[in-house]
Amino acid sequence: MKWERKWTLLAVSFGVIAAFFVLREHWAHALGLAPYLLLLACPLMHLFHGHGGHHPGQHQHHVSTDDIS
């Protein structure tokens, strides 16, 4: 495993642990934000979901002379 990947894994691990302890202490406050986060997630999913996967050039069918006869 490369060093950059190890440092990234270590940073993400510490972030998850820190988020767990912060949410454990402030669960009532964080749970109060849940409806607003859900409402914010809906337009963000509509904006960013599926872009880049449906270009018109990807579905072109090439017809050769063998297919016509």
Q: Name which residue leads in pLDDT, 22 or 51.
A: 22
Domain contains 27: yes
The per-residue pLDDT for range 31-51, each reduced to its tens digit, is: 888 899 899 998 888 888 776
CA distance 28 to 34: 10
**pLDDT value at position 53?**
57
Longest dimension (CA), the chain: 73
How many domains is the chain partitioned into structurally? 1
Domain contains 14: yes
Structural domain containing residue 23: 1-42
Task: Enter the tokens of residue 57.
Answer: 């050039």
**pLDDT value at position 10?**
95
Q: Are 30 and 23 in contact (CB under 8 A)?
A: yes
The per-residue pLDDT for range 54-63, each reduced to its tens digit, is: 555 555 555 6
Q: What is the pTM of this model?
A: 0.45
Domain contains 25: yes
